[in-house]
């Protein structure tokens, strides 16, 4: 892709950036964002962007923005804004010797500001709010996957929602991305002592509530396969045997499609609701349940007969049990994953055609 020179018209430059920042690059990795890159130079000519600089902006900005905001759409908007600000700074003749440090600073400050309005919107949110999921291909290095899972699981992102914006930024920059306290102080515009206090408070809160990944990758996959088999076969006892006694089921439809109004608690209640969902799906012409990795953890996608996405389920597994199931059906939080099923058409179709207790056996594939 050709890269425009800084002297070109700003409108065309902005168009180029908007195209560039939507191209595929690693979304979740913490590598390349840490403090050791704060002083990395963009090269001898610091006023000219090269191809790799476009990817570098996104590679630094998105992992921070997503963990700060919890949704892909908001993070993508923020990445675009960061990219344009960097480009405009170059246009004004500013010298950016440490591009990655500059991007991390702008991203964090914008995310802190955005969280205030995002939380006001979430106060008006219909039903339970869950982060937008990201699907992994499962081929990552196991050590890297474990590292990512510890900082990007849906359950942890929910916990981060309970922190203040500055606490969230301080913890992420220090414990996830490895910045020094003095660097974080500059980024969030406070004292180093205050950064230490912010990070310490956040750390205590997170450690008290964060999920534990005590089960091996192979055990999680086996448990996910057993979960799918029990759900497909309508095996209530089999489902209950896999669920923790205090398991929690949460659904997020955002008022756009039907979903649970509030979380359900308890093994039997959750198992029965999962089977009710399965029976609704069973009345559709065809559907598939496919095991996937959701935010580097175990999960399931529900697909219609045209392989369009209906829902994403994230499973929180610890101690050999499923401790939580999070179901995201809000189309606004799934659009980045590919073609979506028409939920209204699916549900209206099964009301017209289905008879109670009659349905098709779903398929499962990996």
**Residue 92 pLDDT > 80:** yes
**By the 8 A CB rule, do 231 and 307 touch?**
no
- SS3 of the chain: helix, strand, coil, percent, to 5: 50, 15, 35
Q: How many CB atoms lie within 10 A of CB 162?
A: 12
Q: H/E element holding 298?
A: strand 297-304
User: According to the model, what pLDDT value does residue 180 have?
Assistant: 95
pLDDT at 23: 39
- Tell me if 306 sits within 8 A of 230, measured CB to CB: no
Mean pLDDT of 93-115: 91
**Cβ distance 90 to 53 under 8 Å?**
no
Q: What is the pLDDT, as a whole number, of residue 62?
A: 94
The model's confidence at residue 26, banded by pLDDT at 50, 70 and 90, is very low
Residue boundaries of the structural domains of the chain: 1-127, 162-210, 217-364
In tens, the pLDDT along 237-250 reads 999 999 999 999 99
Overall fold of domain 217-364: Nuclear Transport Factor 2; Chain: A, (3.10.450)
pTM: 0.81
Pick the CATH number of 162-210 from 3.40.228.10, 3.50.50.60, 1.10.10.10, 1.25.40.320: 1.10.10.10
Which pLDDT score, from 0 to 100, does residue 24 have?
Answer: 33
Which has the closest alpha carbon to 332: 157, 150, 122, 149?
A: 122
Tell me which of 29-33, 320-324, 352-356 is least confident: 352-356
Compare 54 and 291 and report the one with higher pLDDT. Answer: 291
The pLDDT of residue 232: 86
Residue 152 to residue 42: CA distance in whole angstroms: 29
Per-residue pLDDT at 240: 96
Pick the more confident residue, 24 or 203: 203
Determine which of 203-207, 212-216, 284-288 has the lowest per-residue pLDDT on average. 212-216
**Least confident range of 224-233, 313-322, 348-357:** 348-357
Question: Can you tell me the distance from the alpha carbon of 263 to that of 229, in angstroms, rounded to the nearest whole number?
Answer: 24
Q: Identify the pLDDT of residue 333.
A: 95
pLDDT value, residue 213: 57
Give the model confidence (pLDDT) of 337-357 as tens digits.
999 988 766 666 544 433 222
């Amino acid at each position: 892709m050709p890269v425009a020179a800084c002297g070109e018209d700003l409108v065309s430059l902005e168009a180029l950036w908007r195209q560039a920042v939507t191209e595929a690059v690693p979304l979740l990795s913490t590598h390349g964002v840490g403090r050791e890159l704060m002083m990395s130079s963009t090269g001898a000519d610091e006023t000219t962007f090269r191809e790799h600089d476009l990817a570098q902006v996104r590679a630094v900005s998105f992992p921070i923005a997503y963990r700060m905001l919890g949704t892909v759409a908001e993070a993508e908007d923020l990445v675009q804004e960061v990219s344009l600000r960097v480009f405009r700074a170059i246009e004004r003749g500013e010298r950016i010797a440490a591009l990655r440090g500059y991007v991390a600073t702008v991203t964090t400050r914008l995310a802190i500001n955005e969280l205030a309005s995002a939380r006001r919107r979430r106060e008006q949110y219909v039903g339970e709010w869950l982060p937008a999921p990201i699907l992994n291909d499962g081929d990552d290095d196991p050590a890297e996957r474990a590292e990512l899972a510890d900082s990007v699981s849906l359950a942890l992102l929910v916990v981060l929602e309970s922190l203040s914006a500055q606490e969230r930024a301080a913890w992420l920059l220090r414990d996830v991305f490895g910045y020094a306290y003095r660097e974080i102080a500059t980024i969030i515009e406070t004292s180093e002592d205050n950064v230490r206090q912010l990070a310490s408070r956040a750390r205590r809160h997170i450690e008290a509530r964060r999920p534990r990944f005590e089960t091996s990758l192979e055990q999680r996959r086996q448990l996910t396969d057993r979960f799918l088999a029990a759900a497909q076969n309508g095996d209530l006892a089999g489902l209950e045997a896999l669920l923790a006694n205090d398991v929690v089921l949460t659904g997020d439809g955002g008022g756009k499609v039907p979903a649970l109004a509030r979380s359900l608690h308890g093994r039997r209640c959750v198992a029965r609701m999962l089977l009710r969902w399965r029976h609704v799906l069973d009345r559709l012409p065809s559907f598939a349940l496919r095991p996937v990795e959701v935010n580097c953890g175990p999960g399931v996608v529900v697909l219609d007969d045209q392989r369009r996405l209906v829902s994403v389920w994230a499973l929180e597994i610890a101690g050999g049990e499923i401790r939580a199931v999070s179901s995201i059906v809000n189309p606004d939080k799934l659009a980045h994953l590919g073609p979506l099923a028409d939920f209204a058409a699916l549900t209206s179709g099964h009301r017209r055609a289905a008879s109670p207790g009659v349905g098709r056996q779903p398929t499962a594939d990996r």
